[in-house]
């Protein structure tokens, strides 16, 4: 071995050992940000495999690096007192010590990964409580008493309702309606005029809401209605439809795909009942939506006789209505953004893209502590394919890309149809959450209004700054959620992890430079114990308790490490540089 070759080999081994064993995640992330390797940011990090840096003659040891390290170290110490040149002995010893350090690093990673998996298993088994007590009836429209209209969109009207079999639920934390909120704020001179509202005390009388879809062109048979409006059934519960009908009717949504059902989550609406019935003449129908009524109710109406009805929990207001009369505190705003991210991540993990996320499609109530709880609703535009890929073939302009063009992610808005073209929706809803964050923190959505930015053409430097009171961590999350390139954009899971760590993991983050993931794993164990001690009863149903359970039930070592890296880098660089990430 020549001297030049020995030196180069020693340097290469030293570099590998240093990068794999000594460098902290923040340093690696900073290097990625400063160089061209930033192109891959936002992708889940891959676990380093020993075989990528071992010499060829040692690769048969890759299954057990610990055994390799022991053998090499033993041979290295024997060579110290044996024959061979000092150069060769030094190179061999450096390699053996490096193998031992790498094994220790990988062993720590395995322990941290095992800890995350055990915590995740504990909290995955715990089911979130139902928003209302279960009931066995309610599969006919005649079972319900319908009150006033409380909402109207482009394809449905929503009415407050109740049913004798449902009973009056304990809804003390929901009795702060939007009218009461406006009255409270108007005493301080803060309430605007003209905001829609829910009648005072009506939530106690009408704990349910029924959504009547408008049926134009779908036919009047139950089978045709369910096939045409099948996306609305994505958040339906297991008992939402009669079992015999659910088994007989093969529901098929758009693009020839069978829609799936999303499991229960505190930040996703739950459809309690779904059935078809004749369209009734409800209050305000002749004035609000005469054109969609059937001819038996309006001689010039275009609607069919039957349509789909969805029964859900009644919520005081939408997020848009709430933000018209109130500006949340900085902490409440962070919790609200985090709830949207948790809801989007839950949908994404089950292969569902909402594709119409906006403040009008988010409902709001208050927990026992007065904190807003957000629920994503209105799945009429969702993508729920059987393969869970969130990839949509875009071979024609007739393919539906989703609703709400203003908050359509850049990769969706700029897609050009053609053979073999697909649209990836895996991070499209996360981009919409970044835009809605401006509304939550009291600013105009930059993609709304006359002077709005266009998601097809905007530059990231054009994005306005959030208020100064908003934390640097939130600045970082919003900036990275609104990246034009989806490969550089945060996923909803990593963004949620960043906010969870920012809100509750400050002590663990403060020790990252000295103790690494081991300290974080210890904090996760303590956090798990606290959440379990708090319980899953009424005392554990606050917004913060639900968010902590969501975080712990979705633990993944690589996603968590990436979130820590982003956080540490953002704090190291400061807000000034975050604005231009």
Task: Give residue-wise pLDDT tens across range 352-365.
Answer: 999 999 999 999 99
- 368 lies in some domain: no
- For residue 281, CA distances in Å to 141, 198, 212, 286 come to 13, 21, 11, 8
The stretch 543-556 carries a mean pLDDT of 92
Query: What range does the domain containing 270 cover?
Result: 141-167+207-314
The stretch 481-503 carries a mean pLDDT of 95
Residues 215 and 267 occupy one common structural domain: yes
The pLDDT score that the predictor gives to residue 254 is: 41
The residue out of 314, 338, 367 marking a domain boundary is 314
- 330 lies in some domain: no
Looking at the chain, the whole-number percentage of residues with pLDDT higher than 70 is: 67
Three-state DSSP state, 386: coil
The stretch 168-193 carries a mean pLDDT of 45
Q: Of the segments 10-24, 66-80, 147-161, 202-216, which one has the largest average pLDDT value?
A: 147-161
Is the Cβ–Cβ distance between 402 and 356 less than 8 Å? yes
Measured CA to CA, the distance from residue 508 to residue 280 in angstroms comes to 58
Give 215's contacts (C-beta < 8 A, 6+ positions apart).
225, 228, 229, 279, 292, 303, 304, 306, 307, 308
Task: Give the phi and the psi of residue 391 in degrees, each rounded to 5.
Answer: -110, 125
The pLDDT score that the predictor gives to residue 260 is: 79
Residue among 356, 378, 429, 559 flagged as catalytic: 356
The pLDDT score that the predictor gives to residue 25 is: 47
pTM: 0.78
Confidence of residue 567 (pLDDT cuts 50, 70, 90): confident
Residues 21 and 156 occupy one common structural domain: no
Residues 287 and 427 occupy one common structural domain: no
- Closest to 17 measured CA to CA, from 111, 110, 96, 108: 96
Measured CA to CA, the distance from residue 380 to residue 368 in angstroms comes to 31
Tokens 């690494």 sit on residue? 516
Confidence of residue 26 (pLDDT cuts 50, 70, 90): very low
Confidence of residue 10 (pLDDT cuts 50, 70, 90): low
- 55 lies in some domain: yes
- 365 lies in some domain: no
Token reading at 527? 């956090």
Residues 218 and 293 occupy one common structural domain: yes
Indicate whether 49 pLDDT > 60: no
Cβ burial 34-60 (10 Å sphere, 16+ → b, else e) = eeeebeebbeeeeeeebeebbeeebee
Residues 447 and 550 occupy one common structural domain: yes
Indicate whether 250 pLDDT > 60: no
Residues 277 and 398 occupy one common structural domain: no
Residues 163 and 24 occupy one common structural domain: no
Residues 98 and 238 occupy one common structural domain: no
The stretch 293-310 carries a mean pLDDT of 94
Residues 397 and 295 occupy one common structural domain: no
Ranking 177-186, 216-225, 511-520 by mean pLDDT, the lowest is 177-186
Token reading at 209? 């809401």
Give 516's contacts (C-beta < 8 A, 6+ positions apart).
24, 25, 108
What CATH number is attached to the domain comprising 499?
Answer: 1.10.510
- 490 lies in some domain: yes
- 554 lies in some domain: yes
The residue out of 314, 349, 382 marking a domain boundary is 314
Indicate whether 342 pLDDT > 90: yes
Comparison of pLDDT for 309 and 93, the residue scoring more:
309
The pLDDT score that the predictor gives to residue 464 is: 94
Q: Where are the beta strands (DSSP E) in 186-318?
A: 208-213, 273-278, 306-313, 317-318
Comparison of pLDDT for 339 and 173, the residue scoring more:
339
Give 533's contacts (C-beta < 8 A, 6+ positions apart).
none
- Closest to 17 measured CA to CA, from 98, 109, 106, 100: 98
Active-site residue flag, 356 = yes
Residues 453 and 563 occupy one common structural domain: yes
Comparison of pLDDT for 482 and 29, the residue scoring more:
482
The residue out of 253, 283, 314 marking a domain boundary is 314
Residues 83 and 154 occupy one common structural domain: no
- 147 lies in some domain: yes
Ranking 373-377, 415-419, 430-434, 519-523 by mean pLDDT, the lowest is 519-523
Ranking 60-69, 127-136, 435-444 by mean pLDDT, the lowest is 60-69
The pLDDT score that the predictor gives to residue 57 is: 40
Structurally, how many domains does the chain consist of?
Answer: 3
Indicate whether 515 pLDDT > 60: no
Cβ burial 224-241 (10 Å sphere, 16+ → b, else e) = bbbbbbbbbbbbbbeebb
- 145 lies in some domain: yes
Q: Look up residue 50 and give its DSSP letter.
A: G
Instruction: Kindly report the average pLDDT of the chain as a whole number.
Output: 77
Looking at the chain, the whole-number percentage of residues with pLDDT higher than 90 is: 46
Residues 369-392 have pLDDT tens digits of: 889 999 999 999 999 887 888 999
Residues 91 and 163 occupy one common structural domain: no
């Amino acid at each position: 071995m020549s001297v030049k070759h020995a030196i180069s080999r020693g340097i290469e081994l030293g570099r590998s050992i240093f990068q794999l064993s000594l460098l902290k995640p923040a340093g690696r992330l900073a290097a990625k940000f400063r160089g061209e390797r930033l192109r891959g940011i936002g992708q889940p990090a891959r676990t380093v495999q020993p075989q990528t840096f071992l010499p060829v003659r040692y690769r048969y040891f890759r299954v057990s690096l610990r055994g390799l390290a022991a053998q090499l170290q033993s041979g290295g110490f024997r060579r110290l007192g044996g024959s061979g040149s000092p150069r060769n002995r030094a190179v061999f010893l450096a390699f053996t010590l490096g193998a031992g350090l790498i094994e220790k690093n990988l062993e720590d990673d395995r322990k941290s990964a095992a800890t995350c998996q055990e915590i995740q298993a504990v909290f995955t088994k715990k089911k979130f409580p139902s928003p209302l007590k279960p009931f066995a009836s309610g599969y006919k429209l005649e079972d319900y008493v319908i009150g006033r209209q409380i909402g109207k969109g482009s394809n449905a009207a929503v009415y407050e309702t109740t049913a004798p079999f449902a009973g009056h639920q304990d809804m003390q934390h929901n009795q702060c309606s939007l009218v009461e909120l406006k009255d409270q704020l108007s005493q301080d001179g803060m309430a605007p005029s003209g905001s829609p509202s829910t009648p005072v005390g009506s939530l106690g009388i009408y704990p349910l809401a029924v959504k009547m879809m408008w049926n134009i062109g779908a036919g009047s048979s139950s089978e045709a209605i369910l096939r045409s409006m099948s996306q609305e059934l994505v958040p339906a519960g297991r008992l939402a439809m009669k079992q015999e009908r659910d088994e007989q009717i093969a529901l098929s949504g758009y693009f020839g795909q069978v829609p799936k059902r999303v499991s229960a989550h505190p930040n996703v609406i739950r459809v309690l009942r779904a059935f078809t019935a004749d369209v009734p003449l409800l209050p305000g129908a002749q004035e609000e939506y005469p054109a969609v009524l059937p001819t038996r109710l309006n001689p010039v109406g275009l609607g069919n006789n039957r349509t789909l009805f969805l029964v859900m929990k009644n919520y005081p207001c939408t997020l848009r209505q709430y933000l018209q009369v109130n500006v949340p505190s900085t902490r409440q705003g962070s919790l609200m953004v985090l709830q949207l991210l948790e809801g989007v991540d839950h949908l994404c993990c089950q292969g569902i893209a909402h594709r119409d996320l906006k403040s009008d499609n988010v409902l709001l109530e208050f927990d026992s502590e007065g904190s807003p709880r957000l629920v994503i609703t209105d799945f009429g535009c969702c993508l729920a394919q059987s393969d869970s890929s969130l990839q949509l073939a875009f071979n024609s302009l007739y393919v539906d890309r989703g609703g709400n063009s203003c908050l359509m992610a850049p990769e969706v808005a700029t897609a050009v149809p053609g053979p073999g073209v697909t649209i990836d929706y895996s991070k499209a809803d996360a981009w919409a959450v970044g835009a809605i964050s401006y509304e939550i923190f009291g600013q105009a959505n930059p993609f709304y209004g006359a002077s709005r930015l266009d998601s097809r053409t905007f530059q990231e430097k054009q994005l306005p700054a959030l208020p100064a009171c908003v934390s640097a961590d939130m600045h970082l999350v919003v900036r990275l959620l609104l990246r034009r390139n989806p490969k550089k954009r945060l996923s909803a899971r990593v963004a949620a992890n960043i906010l969870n760590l920012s809100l509750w993991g400050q002590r663990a983050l403060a020790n990252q430079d000295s103790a690494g993931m081991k300290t974080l794993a210890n904090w996760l164990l303590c956090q798990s114990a606290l959440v379990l001690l708090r319980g899953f009863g009424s005392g554990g149903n606050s917004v913060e308790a639900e968010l902590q359970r969501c975080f712990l039930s979705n633990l993944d070592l690589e996603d968590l490490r990436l979130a820590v890296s982003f956080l540490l880098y953002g704090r190291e660089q400061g807000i000034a540089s975050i604005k231009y990430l």
